[in-house]
Homo-oligomer: A and B are copies of this chain.
Amino acid sequence: MDEIFEKTLLYDFYGELLTDNQKKIYELYHLDDLSLGEISQQMNISRQGVHDTLKRCDLSLKNFEEKLGLVDKFIKNKNAMNEIHKITTNILNDYQQDDILKNSLNAIDKIAIGILEEL
Contact = CB atoms under 8 A, between A and B. Distances in A.
A64 B104 contact: no
Contact of A108 (B67, B68, B73, B87): B87
Which bucket holds chain A's interface residue count?
A: 20 to 34
Q: Is the interface of A mostly helix, strand, loop or mixed?
A: helix
Given A64-B17, A77-B115, A104 B87 contact: yes
Interface string A11-24: 00110110000000
Contacts of A70: 68, 70
Interface core residue of A88, A105, A108 (most chain B CB under 10 Å): A108
A46 to B, nearest CB: 29
Contact of A68 (B13, B77, B80): B13
User: 7 tightest A-B contacts by CB?
Assistant: A16-B67, A80-B111, A91-B104, A80-B115, A84-B108, A87-B104, A87-B108
